[in-house]
Chains A and B, each alone.
Chain A
Amino acid sequence: MAKRELQEINAGSMADIAFLLLIFFLVTTTMESNYGIRRKLPPPETKDVPPPPVIKKKNVLEIVINNQDKMLIEEEPAEVKDVKEIAIKFITNNGKDPESSDNPQKAVISIKHGRETSYKEYISVYNELIAAYNEIRNRYARQKFGKPFDKLTEEEQKAVKDAYPQKIAESTPKR
């Protein structure tokens, strides 16, 4: 058999193949958002847990959202955009206003919502509350350590968290 010259493979269609794959991945790509609001649920209820301590009414900021997404804060109508300000005022009251919280450690925010309240309304309110806590913590961190909260060491962060604990209570609507 005569030895033939090795032929070179034509690479001209390589681009076409690559394009085909490219278009496939372009179409299937969903830049999935992997962001979210983190929350730790309270542990399951057991029988031998002592009844919760009685909290003075003035130490609770009561937020109620009805099934039509209308909100009442301490029995006053409120909008989502006001929540942050009200929460900050409530948490940092430190006994100035006798009707508001005694100190940040005692301040509890309670959210009550109906079964038909929309998820986005709840997320919005919740987001604003976290924003309020974050702002207060940042302010405190700057004042005490001269750095924003997320630049602090773990111990310093803990100190800030102890000074302004996040206490958000949710009541479960009945079925």
Chain B
Amino acid sequence: MGKFSKKKGGGTPAISTASLPDIVFMLLFFFMVATVMRESGEKKVMVRLPSADQVKKIEKKGLVAYVYVGKPIPKYQAKYGKAPRIQLNDAFASVEEVGPFVLKFKESKREEEKPLILTSIKADGDVGMGIITDIKEELRKVNALKVNYSSKKGTVLDNFKK
């Protein structure tokens, strides 16, 4: 039946790729916006945050001083050992340096923002409480009393899964 026969030489038409850049750009913008360039360039400690369900979101990211605690990454283990260490900005630090670090951070902010400064402790779930307690004592000494124990959203039972 000639009526329904296809036209001669009609292969599948090529799909137009003209809108491909647009799609890619859309994705690109999404990731550009979602990307958080971490304040500290390099992570020198391994941090696996604990899970908790009574968490609050940090609203003002600019007013948060981060303190990382965890085992040094394998590259640094030869030099610094496997014991948990503190990382401030991008260098290893001792407990005594936490106070001055937070004070310096506070100094860099405007006067009305100073009371809102928050210290976020990003510690690995497996580190001992000793080091955390020392950090808390340091923070108390410099009157930086607002602390955030950074955790993932989840249930506490996730902490005990292998």
User: What residues make up the interface of A, taking CB atoms closer than 8 Å to B?
Assistant: 11, 14-15, 18-19, 21-22, 25-26, 28-45, 80-81, 113-124, 126-128, 130-131, 134, 172-173, 175
> A41 and B128 in contact (CB under 8 A), knowing A32-B36, A131-B54?
no
Report yes or no: A115 in contact with B53, Cβ–Cβ below 8 A: no
Contact with A along B23-43 (1 / 0, CB 8 A): 011011001101111100000
Contact with A along B142-162 (1 / 0, CB 8 A): 010111111111001101100
The contact of B24 among A11, A22, A37, A126, by CB within 8 Å, is A22
Report yes or no: B156 in contact with A124, Cβ–Cβ below 8 A: yes
Report yes or no: A44 in contact with B132, Cβ–Cβ below 8 A: no
Contact with A along B106-127 (1 / 0, CB 8 A): 0000000000000010011111
Report yes or no: A118 in contact with B127, Cβ–Cβ below 8 A: yes
Give the chain B neighbours of A26 by CB distance below 8 A. Answer: 31
The contact of A43 among B20, B61, B140, B159, by CB within 8 Å, is B140
Q: Could you tell me the distance between the alpha carbons of A116 and B38 in the complex, rounded to whole angstroms? A: 30
Report yes or no: B35 in contact with A119, Cβ–Cβ below 8 A: no
Q: Could you tell me the distance between the alpha carbons of A157 and B126 in the complex, rounded to whole angstroms? A: 36
Give the chain A neighbours of B151 by CB distance below 8 A. Answer: 33, 35-37, 123, 127
Report yes or no: B140 in contact with A42, Cβ–Cβ below 8 A: yes
The main secondary structure of chain B at its interface with chain A is: mixed
Give the chain B neighbours of A80 by CB distance below 8 A. Answer: 156-157, 160
Nearest CB of B to A175, in Å: 8
Report yes or no: B126 in contact with A36, Cβ–Cβ below 8 A: no
20 contacts between A and B (CB under 8 A): A15-B20, A19-B24, A21-B28, A28-B35, A29-B35, A30-B38, A33-B49, A34-B57, A36-B151, A37-B52, A37-B54, A39-B149, A41-B140, A114-B129, A116-B128, A119-B124, A119-B129, A123-B50, A124-B52, A127-B156
Report yes or no: B125 in contact with A33, Cβ–Cβ below 8 A: no
User: Is the CB of B58 closer than 8 A to any CB of chain A?
Assistant: yes
The contact of A32 among B38, B69, B141, by CB within 8 Å, is B38
Report yes or no: A128 in contact with B28, Cβ–Cβ below 8 A: no
Give the chain A neighbours of B55 by CB distance below 8 A. Answer: 35-37
Q: Could you tell me the distance between the alpha carbons of A120 and B128 in the complex, rounded to whole angstroms? A: 9
Other than the given A25-B28, A37-B54, A127-B151, 15 more pairs (CB < 8 A) read: A11-B21, A22-B24, A28-B37, A30-B38, A37-B149, A44-B143, A118-B126, A119-B125, A122-B132, A123-B125, A123-B156, A124-B52, A131-B54, A172-B136, A175-B130
Give the chain A neighbours of B8 by CB distance below 8 A. Answer: none
In the complex, the chain A residue whose C-beta lies closest to that of B43 is A30
Q: Could you tell me the distance between the alpha carbons of A25 and B24 in the complex, rounded to whole angstroms? A: 12
Q: Could you tell me the distance between the alpha carbons of A118 and B84 in the complex, rounded to whole angstroms? A: 12
Q: Could you tell me the distance between the alpha carbons of A99 and B149 in the complex, rounded to whole angstroms? A: 33
